[in-house]
Amino acid sequence: MTRLGRYGCQAAPGVPLASADLTLTQGQPRSMVDMGARTNAIDVYGPPPSCGEAARDGWTRHFTVRHDGVTIPVSLGGRGRPLVLCPGLNSTQADLRELTEALRRDHLVVTFDLRGHGLASPAASRYSFDDFLSDLAAVMAEFDWSSPPVLVGYSLGADLAVHYAAEHPDSVAELVLIDGANPLPEPFITEADLEEFRAMAEGLATGRESEAAEGGTHQVALTAEDIFDLCLEIDVVRAAILHRYRRIHRPIHMIMSTAIAGGGAEARATWRNQLWRAGVERLVRELPQVSTSRLDADHRLVFTHAPDIADIIRTLPRPAGGTTS
State the average pLDDT over residues 111-121: 96
Q: Is 148 exposed, middle or buried (0-12, 13-18, 19+ CB in 10 A)?
A: middle
CA distance 136 to 116: 14
CA distance 43 to 155: 32
User: What one-letter code names the amino acid at 61?
Assistant: R
State the average pLDDT over residues 184-206: 91
CA distance 248 to 164: 10
Helix spans in 188-241 (H): 194-214, 224-239
For residue 288, what is the domain's CATH number?
3.40.50.1820
C-alpha distance from residue 42 to each of 19, 45, 54, 108, 171 (Å) = 13, 10, 22, 17, 26
CA distance 259 to 261: 5
Mean pLDDT of the chain: 82
**Are 152 and 85 within 8 A, CB to CB?**
yes
Q: Is 77 helix (H, G, I), strand (E, B) or coil?
A: strand
Question: Per residue in 68-87, pLDDT tens?
Answer: 999 999 999 999 999 999 99
The total of structural domains in the chain comes to: 1
The least confident of 19-23, 93-97, 119-123, 186-190 is 19-23
Answer yes or no: is pLDDT of 210 > 80.
no
Q: What domain range is 56 assigned to?
A: 4-324
User: What one-letter code names the amino acid at 248?
Assistant: I
CA distance 117 to 145: 26
Percent of the chain whose predicted confidence (pLDDT) is above 70: 77
Q: How many CA atoms lie within 13 A of 136 on its CB side?
A: 28
Question: Per residue in 303-323, pLDDT tens?
Answer: 999 999 999 999 986 434 444
Q: Which position has the higher pLDDT, 52 or 245?
A: 245
Residue 213: count of CB within 10 angstroms of its CB: 9
Percent of the chain whose predicted confidence (pLDDT) is above 90: 67
Pairing of the two strands 22-25 and 44-45: unpaired
User: What pLDDT does 42 receive?
Assistant: 35
Query: 4 pLDDT band (50/70/90 cuts)?
Result: very low
Quick one: DSSP state of residue 13? Answer: P
Answer yes or no: is pLDDT of 11 > 50.
no
State the average pLDDT over residues 40-57: 34
